[in-house]
Amino acid sequence: DTVTFLATDRGHNSQTIAGMVPEGAEGWTGRINEEVAATLEVPGYYGYQCTPHLSLGMVGLVIVQGEGMDANLEAAQEVRHRGRAGNAWDEIWEEVAGMDLSAA
């Protein structure tokens, strides 16, 4: 599938976070104020951020279900983040822990 991050507000982008992309998968780096599309073919957890607003906690997670999707889960959870991003990731991982992802 392809995920498109739309540039609806000025001053934002979407970029994968180092250590939060499955092995063998490609990350993405969107330019400020421009949409970016990412084709996600490798199952796993993809962490992303708005680079200018990372310290404010503007982060997110895309989960691609399929065989081997948990292969990068532990590594992604071990990545440390500064500022409000750390709090945002604590909330995201708590939400993930409560999800039923067995439909993969």
Q: How many CB atoms lie within 10 A of CB 32?
A: 12
Cα separation, 5 vs 24, in Å, equals 22
The structure's pTM equals 0.94
Q: Tell me the Ramachandran region of residue 7: left when phi exceeds 0, alpha when psi lies from -120 to 50, beta otherwise.
A: beta
**17-42 pLDDT tens trace:** 999 999 999 999 999 999 999 999 99
Distance between CA 48 and CA 64 in Å, rounded? 13
| pLDDT single digits (tens) 37-58 | 999 999 999 999 999 999 899 9
- In the block, tokens 């993930």 appear at 96
